[in-house]
Amino acid sequence: AMVRAGDVIGYSGDSVTVNCNGSPHLHLELRLSTMAVATNPVPWIDADWPSLTLGLGGAGLMVDLDDPLRWQSLYDQPDVTFGGPWLNAYPRAWPAA
C-alpha cells in the first residue's frame, strides 16, 4: 500500500511494560514488495534521523570484531530476509552473544 503524508503509520508505546505505555517509541519497518525482506528506511524517508533516534546513531549495535566498521551506522544497514541466515552471527562479536 502507498503511504501518503498525514497517514497514520503506527502508534507509539513501550514494549517493556505490559500495556506498552511506559516510554513512547515507534518501531518502523519497511518491507520490499515480496514482504519477505525488510529494508533500511533511512534512504527512503527524508527525515532528521539523528533526532528521531535521539542521537543514538550506532549505539547498541553488535560489532563484528573481524570487520568492526560494518553496519555501525543508521545509514549503513543491510536488508533482512525473513527465514534467511542470521546477519549478526559473528564468530567474534562484541558484546558477546
Mean pLDDT in each 10-residue stretch from start to end of the chain (97 residues)? 82 64 73 92 88 68 93 92 93 88
Q: pLDDT value at position 15?
A: 62
Instruction: Say if pTM beats, i.e. exceeds, 0.85.
Output: no
Q: pLDDT value at position 70?
A: 94
Q: pLDDT value at position 77?
A: 92
41 vs 48: CA distance, rounded Å: 12
Which residue has cell 520490499?
32
Q: pLDDT value at position 78?
A: 95
